[in-house]
Structure 1
Amino acid sequence: MQENNFPKLHNASWPGVVGKGPDSEPPIDLDTMLKLTADAEVDGQKFDGVDLFLADPHVSIDSSDDDLKRLADKVGSYNLEIGSFVAPVWGVTGGGSAMGSAEERKNFVTQVQKACAIGKKLRDMGIRPHGIVRIDSSVDPESWAKDAAGNTKLIAQTFREACDVAADYGESLAAEGEICWGGMHGWKTMINTLEAVDRPNIGFQADMAHTLLYLLGYNKEDERILPKDFDWNDRETLTEGLKTLTAALRPWTIDFHVAQNDGTVFGSGSHDKTGRHCQASDPNGKLDIAVDAGHWLRDENGNLTKKLKHICWDGCMFPNDVMMQPKTWNDILGAMLKVRELHGWKE
């Protein structure tokens, strides 16, 4: 039995929804995702909680108090807690581009407000001891690049308004470091956006699969860290690249996803191509999951930051037949336990 009990280990529910749909595979409902999570077990250890997607068909952003009470009871019945949220800020879910029209940006902030209200209610119910609300810019890098400076100002203004709303509910917002979102698609660009927001409750959401693509300069070649002819067998250069990246972004990081990536991009359903999530046991994975997570969870001197009370596995756009296999989730839980064994602590 592992002695460390922090950070808490969460599974993500949104792989049942993201990348699914009419032009891909059917979504996997929340009940099934909860059961798959709760059933996973490695050496007597289990997941501690789930992070949620606040959109249909999982959790409606317009959930009533009764809906939320039923949700809390359901998650609690699996002996799980609730952590971070994905706010549905995109146009197709009622939001809009963070650098779009006044109406689009207003819709963006409204969706964040609804997510934060849900967050506070679930905190008050005792089912959500920690977590953030995750956002992105809801716009592609190509559109952003047409006026990088002007569009960054617009995104920052929208994020600033969203942060002010979130503060009213005691919530913080984490901007997702993913190469498919304009103003967030390169590591320096991401920092510029965060600095422009200038609010104490804005931070960075690091996903190991997505941030690996920052090193390669996907969608932002001028911010590439690794050489163009990089050989993935050159572990020393990869480690140095990860150190450079995490030194810059770790101070901003308030939410963290453990993940694996094979160095490629992938998209399915309506989701644009982004860092491919691989299974924890994928032989083509370029990361040493447990070791490389330490670049985010420890400071430059190797000391634990203990800043993140929970960490989450993210494996979006896995085929449904893979997601329905218990071994998939046991392998993931096993990888998460190794992260906590190396970089966790006891409270």
Structure 2
Amino acid sequence: MTVTAQHNKPAIHNAMWPGLVGKGPDSEPPIDLDTMLDLTAGAEVDGVKFDGVDLFASLPHIDIDSTKDDLTRVAEGISGRNLVVGSLVAPVWPPTGGGSAMGSEEERARFLTQVRKTCAMAKTFRELGIRRYGVIRIDSATGPAEWAKDPAGSTKKIAETFREAATIAEGYGERLAAEGEICWGGMHGWRHMLELLEQVDRPQTVGFQADMAHSLLYTLGYNAPEDRLLPEGFDWMDQNVLMAALTKLTDALRPWTVDFHVAQNDGTVHGTGSHDKTGRHCPANDPNGKMDIVKVAGLWMREKDGTPTRAFEHICWDGCMFPNKTMTSPDTWRDVLGTLISVRNAHGWD
């Protein structure tokens, strides 16, 4: 692959959590952090390499209860590979010690505790000089079915929890990004996501994390038929109709977007291990991918008038639930890196 770099911003990152999400005893073995870091650091296209990584603040990668010494060792392992840290995923779900954002007081307290611990970890990485940008990613930690028992009340309670989380984040100098994904209750449709952000009403602290694989499913109305933007029986060859739907979606959520994942999707849902079905992340060059990655990325990265939003200092590739054979192939990450360079060339700045 030959891709000449034309811009140096935003920075280019690789996500580490695909080594964990959908892995485990009911699927393939997790891929350890050092292996993920080595694969990332080893990728190169025409002299350009990944600038950094986004982290999952949970075992078996990083213990949420790590000491400063523990995090110093992690930071040294990352900086020793000429990488930096960007955004962190807060492990807010019950299996990792968290709780539902619309659950009982005890559950919501566990959710907020995980946010606080992740913000503290992020602050430590800043103090260690390895992190200069990025957000803390959160979700509602509950499913659409549970949310649907009381839609208005559920969204109100999630918003209350997110506002409390925002206050915590502000105390650490952090921002939060709510991930738009169809498996999270109250966030499972684009209008529901927008309503939640508006109810939280802390735009300086709580924004939206766009992931191209997930947002494509928003247009299809998975788990939220009332939010469907593409017609039934849509012909994927009709890119004009697809781009019109994605433009409506991005016009609504772009003003809230503070974190961005470049990804591909084949228009289907997918889940492995214990992870619920969500957008199928495809390899960058997957022939079944439905999007022109560079073109669709521009809908998130440029304002209506075509100027770059500059709303985030890095972009990140997300390839959750790839088979381990794909994950451990150096070719996978060279292709991903080349794709990210192309996205930055088209929509970046200096």
TM-score by length of 2: 0.98
SS in 2 for 1:261: strand
- Across the two proteins, how many residue pairs are aligned to each other? 346
2:295 matched to which residue of 1?
291
1:46 matched to which residue of 2?
49
Q: CA deviation at 1:276?
A: 0.3
2:218 matched to which residue of 1?
214
Output the CA distance in 2 between the equivalents of 1:179 and 1:281.
24
Output the CA distance in 1 between the equivalents of 2:220 and 2:13.
28
2:63 matched to which residue of 1?
60
Map 1:189-208 → 2, pairs under 5 A: 189-199=192-202, 200-208=204-212
Output the CA distance in 2 between the equivalents of 1:318 and 1:7.
25
- Which of 80, 83, 96 aligns to 2:83? It is 80
- Which of 182, 185, 204 aligns to 1:182? It is 185
Output the CA distance in 1 between the equivalents of 2:208 and 2:154.
19
2:101 matched to which residue of 1?
98
SS in 1 for 2:123: helix
Measured against aligned partners, the alpha-carbon deviations of 1:229-257 in whole angstroms (never above 9, x if no partner) come to 21100010111111100000000000000
Output the CA distance in 2 between the equivalents of 1:24 and 1:3.
40
Q: Percent identity?
A: 64
1:172 matched to which residue of 2?
175
SS in 1 for 2:266: coil
Measured against aligned partners, the alpha-carbon deviations of 1:86-118 in whole angstroms (never above 9, x if no partner) come to 000000010000001100000000000000011
SS in 1 for 2:164: helix
Say whether 1:263 aligns with 2:267. Answer: yes
Q: Which runs of 5+ in 2 are unaligned?
A: none
Output the CA distance in 1 between the equivalents of 2:190 and 2:282.
22
2:251 matched to which residue of 1?
247
SS in 2 for 1:277: strand
Measured against aligned partners, the alpha-carbon deviations of 1:182-235 in whole angstroms (never above 9, x if no partner) come to 000000000111111122300000000000000000000011001112110001
Output the CA distance in 2 between the equivalents of 1:258 and 1:144.
28
2:133 matched to which residue of 1?
130
1:276 matched to which residue of 2?
280
Say whether 1:336 aligns with 2:343. Answer: no
Q: CA deviation at 1:5?
A: 0.7
One-letter amino acid of the structure 2 residue matched with residue 197 of structure 1: V
SS in 1 for 2:157: helix
Output the CA distance in 2 between the equivalents of 1:306 and 1:135.
22
Output the CA distance in 1 between the equivalents of 2:234 and 2:5.
37
Q: CA deviation at 1:124?
A: 1.5
Output the CA distance in 1 between the equivalents of 2:138 and 2:43.
28
Say whether 1:232 aligns with 2:236. Answer: yes
Output the CA distance in 2 between the equivalents of 1:174 and 1:305.
17
Measured against aligned partners, the alpha-carbon deviations of 1:23-77 in whole angstroms (never above 9, x if no partner) come to 0000000000000000001111100000000000001110100011111111000
Output the CA distance in 1 between the equivalents of 2:128 and 2:219.
41
SS in 2 for 1:264: strand
One-letter amino acid of the structure 2 residue matched with residue 214 of structure 1: Y
- Which of 334, 346, 349 aligns to 1:345? It is 349
1:21 matched to which residue of 2?
24
- Which of 223, 227, 235 aligns to 1:223? It is 227
SS in 2 for 1:232: coil
SS in 2 for 1:184: coil
One-letter amino acid of the structure 2 residue matched with residue 132 of structure 1: V
One-letter amino acid of the structure 1 residue matched with residue 100 of structure 2: S
Say whether 1:147 aligns with 2:184. Answer: no
Output the CA distance in 2 between the equivalents of 1:22 and 1:121.
32
One-letter amino acid of the structure 1 residue matched with residue 207 of structure 2: G
1:305 matched to which residue of 2?
309
One-letter amino acid of the structure 1 residue matched with residue 253 of structure 2: L
Q: CA deviation at 1:147?
A: 0.1
SS in 2 for 1:300: coil
SS in 1 for 2:320: coil
Output the CA distance in 2 between the equivalents of 1:216 and 1:181.
16
One-letter amino acid of the structure 1 residue matched with residue 221 of structure 2: G
One-letter amino acid of the structure 1 residue matched with residue 58 of structure 2: A
SS in 2 for 1:151: helix
Q: CA deviation at 1:3?
A: 3.3
Say whether 1:320 aligns with 2:297. Answer: no
Say whether 1:114 aligns with 2:79. Answer: no
TM-score by length of 1: 0.99
Output the CA distance in 1 between the equivalents of 2:216 and 2:71.
36
One-letter amino acid of the structure 2 residue matched with residue 131 of structure 1: G
